[in-house]
């Protein structure tokens, strides 16, 4: 498969189509990004690399990091995890409060904000130095020592995180948050602030294309079955109330973030990361989804 040729062809086609998305501005620091940025990076399980555009520029991966916090929490808690968070698609926006009241504080899945806050609480309970230990975990599985949090973005979100504060308080009232709210929120905002390039993102997620083994640390990060399950959760919940549409158009498990990044996994083949900051109405990268739809169409390959 000539990935370089296909990636370049689609990216060039998209340069000439209108971008109807809008950069996220509810986190003030995110709105300062140059919205014309566009990058793609594909890493195969044989460690071959193909890219286009701004693939080596760091951006805020935001909710994409929720898959990494979930992976670590799953490793630490195993099946006990599912007592506190579900595995069902929510069909609602990433920061919605609606279902939490009727679901007595148990989030539908770990990839919506409420679910990621519960996962953050679990990690705060397990880890001695939560922020330090977590970033070291990400560095280990990716083999990239320079991956880090962005304090500027974390502080900006902390200053404007009213909905997340509402979500965590509601869950605390139901007893599904065990630690001090400020400590969990600080961990969560830092988690969302992690910066990576498209290349780094595709490398970091490779363990989900290799059934749980990090090709960089050569360690098993997840059991084969748990790796399958995380891919299944991404397939059903990775794009919130657009998860069906992403599955329908692209046909790969994936995860988006409001920084405009998307990572998609083809188990046993590759991981592809796309970055384009303008978002559609559901909070997912407008051109990122268009690119991936064209990519699986041109390559005639998806998991289905
Ligand atoms: O908590 C928030 O709202 C953001 N830090 C992350 C949201 C996000 O990336 C949703 N993804 N599309």
pLDDT digits (tens, 9 = 90+) for 153-181: 999 999 999 999 999 999 999 999 999 99
pLDDT for the residue numbered 1: 85
CB 231 within 8 A of CB 105: no
> If you average pLDDT over residues 102-122, what whole number do you get?
98
In ligand 1, which atom is closest to the CA atom of 163? Answer: 3
What average pLDDT is seen over the chain?
97
Angle (CA) 184-185-190 rounded to 5° is 100
- Does the pLDDT of residue 208 top 90, yes or no? yes
- Residue nearest ligand 1's atom 7 by CA: 63
- Residue nearest ligand 1's atom 3 by CA: 95
Which of 185, 188, 192, 284 gets mutated to test ligand 1 (max ligand atoms within 8 A of its CB)? 192
- The domain over range 3-299 is classified in CATH as 3.40.710.10: yes
CB 198 within 8 A of CB 39: yes
In the reported structure, the alpha carbon of residue 63 is separated from the centroid of ligand 1 by a whole-number distance in angstroms of 5
pLDDT for the residue numbered 217: 87
Cα–Cα distance measured from residue 203 to residue 46, given in angstroms and rounded to the nearest whole number: 11
For 104: left if phi > 0, alpha if psi spans -120 to 50, otherwise beta; the answer is: left
Residue ranges lining ligand 1, Cβ < 6 Å: 62-63, 94-95, 113, 157, 164, 192, 256-258, 283-284
Angle (CA) 14-15-21 rounded to 5° is 75
Q: DSSP letter at 85?
A: S
Q: DSSP letter at 301?
A: -
Q: Which of 229, 281, 234, 286 has the alpha carbon at shortest distance from 111?
A: 234
pLDDT digits (tens, 9 = 90+) for 30-80: 999 999 999 999 999 999 999 999 999 999 999 999 999 999 999 999 999
Which of 120, 156, 190, 257 gets mutated to test ligand 1 (max ligand atoms within 8 A of its CB)? 257
Domain ranges of the chain: 3-299
CB atoms within 10 A of CB 133: 13
């Amino acid at each position: 498969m000539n990935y370089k040729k296909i990636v370049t062809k689609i990216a060039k086609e998209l340069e000439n189509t209108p971008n109807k998305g809008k950069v996220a501005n509810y986190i003030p620091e995110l709105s300062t990004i140059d919205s014309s940025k566009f990058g793609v990076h594909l890493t195969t399980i044989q460690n071959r690399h193909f890219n286009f555009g701004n693939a080596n520029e760091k951006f805020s991966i935001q909710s994409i990091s929720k898959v990494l916090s979930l992976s670590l929490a799953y490793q630490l808690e195993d099946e006990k995890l599912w007592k506190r968070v579900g595995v069902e698609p929510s069909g609602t926006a990433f920061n919605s409060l609606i279902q939490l009241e009727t679901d007595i504080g148990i989030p539908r899945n770990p990839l919506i904000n409420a679910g990621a806050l519960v996962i953050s609480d679990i990690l705060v309970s397990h880890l001695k130095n939560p922020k330090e230990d977590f970033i070291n975990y990400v560095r280990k599985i990716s083999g990239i020592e320079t991956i880090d949090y962005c304090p500027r973005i974390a502080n900006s979100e902390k200053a404007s995180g009213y909905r997340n504060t509402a979500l965590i308080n509601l869950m605390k009232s139901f007893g599904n948050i065990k630690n001090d709210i400020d400590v969990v929120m600080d961990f969560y905002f830092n988690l969302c602030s992690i910066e990576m390039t498209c290349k780094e993102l595709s490398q970091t997620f490779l363990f989900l294309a290799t059934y749980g083994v990090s090709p960089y640390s050569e360690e098993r990060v997840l059991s084969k079955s748990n790796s399958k399950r995380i891919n299944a959760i991404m397939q059903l919940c990775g794009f919130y109330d657009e998860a069906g549409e992403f599955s329908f158009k692209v046909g790969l498990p994936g995860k988006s973030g409001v920084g405009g990044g998307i990572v998609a996994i083809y188990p046993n083949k590759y991981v592809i990361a796309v970055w384009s900051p303008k978002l559609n109405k559901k909070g997912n990268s407008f051109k990122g989804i268009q690119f991936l739809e064209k990519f699986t169409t041109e390559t005639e390959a998806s998991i289905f």
